Structure 1
């Protein structure tokens, strides 16, 4: 066998081993009353994840999911402790109310089982600090998933900021929201806690304000703002009588940068965009696939998104668990998301008291 052929076979072997040798992510699921769980089940149908069990007490919700996704009876358990006595997942994915994330942490962290919850991390700083304490004491990961983490446009914005392509950041603007969770057809099980001030910690401020706080903390390399000011509105009290449905949050940073978060259940359309202004240029991530660079209002160009990044949270989580990457200060990290909760808590206090809150 000649040297070139031998080298080719060695390279081919390692390439094949890398593609096919990686173990499928095996997870347990805590709760089903967060509509983002449908994204997980679609990945399950594509055999991109193996679900070992699901903890959910609501029989009607279980039946609906079983019928829709053809799930076997033996996947379901009444509680998370009961489930974790029977299976040994690589991680637990939580699709329950934000207020219940602390319960998942109390159960999983002592068992050294990594957890990923849907955004935001917690409803208040008391819960966020306890989750952080449990994660540190047990040396176990507790991550938070955001849809916008997997936007290649946002990842490219970060890389350009890091390269100083637009100069120092002077202002960040993040707009997130839609016509309203009821208006877009969210399930009753989801709405029951999403519009509850105790189970969700608020309304649109919590639901969509967290995206901007998450992205801005990341763009500022983990630095938290020095002050937070917020205004909330209840524009549709007949639909959302208990919580805010529109919020504007302003963040002030020590270096003079300003962050403006616009979170709403009252937009005439669904939107998740990010604008970053530097001293030289402006970047606008219009959506997950489109990034524009402006040098003036009439001088813009679309930037090709050639940067490789994870398609979804499962690809990312697989590499984190395999220790291929460290989530120290990224968008899913605990350090970032504790600051997110601190910002949201200050925003709620500011809106209630009508004053600027110094952190």
Structure 2
């Protein structure tokens, strides 16, 4: 079997998920190297997963590791810089959400990959999650008539790494972290229909002492085909991960929950496991997921990209899709700041999307 050589950039939570996905579900891929800014973390990750090479120098990895694909699992503010370097070295790129911090970065990244003739895939796993894909196929088969509303929500009590809470590294809070999933999934369900307006409200309700970023948001996106979409996202929801969608049609309705139905229901007075170190997610009732990696579609998206590289096919979710998601995020921050509906296209020049909300609050 032909194997494509992968370098994982990053050594945190999402990098672990990507490695597990390759190792368990994608025999066409071979992870040959890992990079982390902290060399000790890169080495520990490599030893944990028996990866032959580790680097704390991104230029050395790109030039020496022999990889054909770089899988970018780094903080948001590094996405553009690393993409430019990988494209210049003719490496194909799959990149975790969001595509970039700014629209200018997104446009430059897309242009760089096109100029270099390399593939760029925006890693939106909800477009590959088995339950959500079953929902999409039911809709395509006419099971619920014409769609008039979509809802998607992802909620938990906060991210795994400190950088998410730093607006200078993340560009924003829960909307940048998880709202991007909902927006990408709406476009996926609607065959990339054009979004025409956005209305949003957001606040920092739980992590006030830790971040100026929003930790709870509701975003309403109206599309040109008349469908209304509602994204609900939170870092303030206790009791573990919640990820579900609702599809409303003229002939029926479909609900899908990525985790319920594939969980062990438990009650713990004191909590258990790693989660005790960071939050209260295992105190009281919890729904322990035994196959999170598979349920969320990570193996499926990575396997798809390997196939695209090996067979010279266009990825189903592209850099342009990631750019479209980012533009809607801009509009959502602006709407939350002004209290008004924002029409698209919308491309103000800002350093970070969240500035469109924070600056408005300053008056």
TM-score by length of 1: 0.79
CA distance in 1 between partners of 2:54 and 2:67 (Å): 14
Deviations 1:313-336 (A, max 9, x none): 332122111227532xx3x32232
Q: Does 1:90 align with 2:68?
A: yes
Residue in structure 2 matched with residue 3 of structure 1 by the alignment: none
Q: Describe how 1:8-27 pairs up with structure 2 within 5 A.
A: 22-27=1-6
What is the aligned counterpart of 1:315 among 261, 278, 303? 303
1:208 aligns with 2:196: no
Aligned partner of 2:248 in structure 1 is: 277
Output the CA distance in 2 between the equivalents of 1:271 and 1:95: 22
Residue ranges of structure 1 left out of the alignment (5+ in a row): 1-21, 292-308
What displacement does 1:60 show?
Answer: 3.6
Distance change >3 Å, CA 339–CA 50, structure 1 → 2: same
- Specify whether residues 103 and 155 from structure 1 end up closer, same or farther in structure 2 by C-alpha distance, changes over 3 A only: same
Mapped to 2, the partners of 1:153 and 1:45 lie a distance apart of: 22
Q: For residue 337 of structure 1, what is the aligned residue in structure 2?
A: 322
Checking the alignment, whether the CA contact within 8 Å between 1:226 and 1:254 is kept in structure 2 is: yes
Which position in structure 2 is the counterpart of 1:5? none
**Shift in CA distance, 64/77, structure 1 to aligned 2, threshold 3 Å:** closer
The residue that corresponds to 1:262 in the other structure is 232
Q: 2:103 touches 2:327 (CA, 8 Å); kept in 1?
A: yes
CA distance in 2, matches of 1:230, 1:201: 17
Q: Does 1:199 align with 2:175?
A: no
SS at match of 1:276: strand
Structure-2-length-normalised TM-score: 0.78
Partner SS state of residue 220, structure 2: strand
User: Aligned in 2, Cα 1:271/1:81: closer, same or farther, shift over 3 Å?
Assistant: same
Deviation at 1:337, TM superposition (A): 1.5
Partner of 2:294: none
Q: 2:222 matched to which residue of 1?
A: 252
Match of 2:116 in 1: 138
Q: 1:41 to 1:232 in 2, by over 3 A?
A: same
Q: Pick closer, same or farther for the CA change 1:239–1:59 going to 2, 3 Å.
A: farther
Contact 1:25–1:314, Cα closer than 8 Å, also in 2: no
Distance 1:83 1:63 in 2: 13
Displacement of 1:209 after TM fit?
0.2
Task: Please tell me whether residue 42 in structure 1 is matched to residue 42 in structure 2.
Answer: no
- C-alpha separation in 2, matches of 1:163 and 1:82: 49
Aligned residues: 307
Alpha-carbon offset, residue 282 of structure 1: 0.9
CA pair 60-83 structure 1, distance change in 2 beyond 3 A? closer
RMSD: 2.4
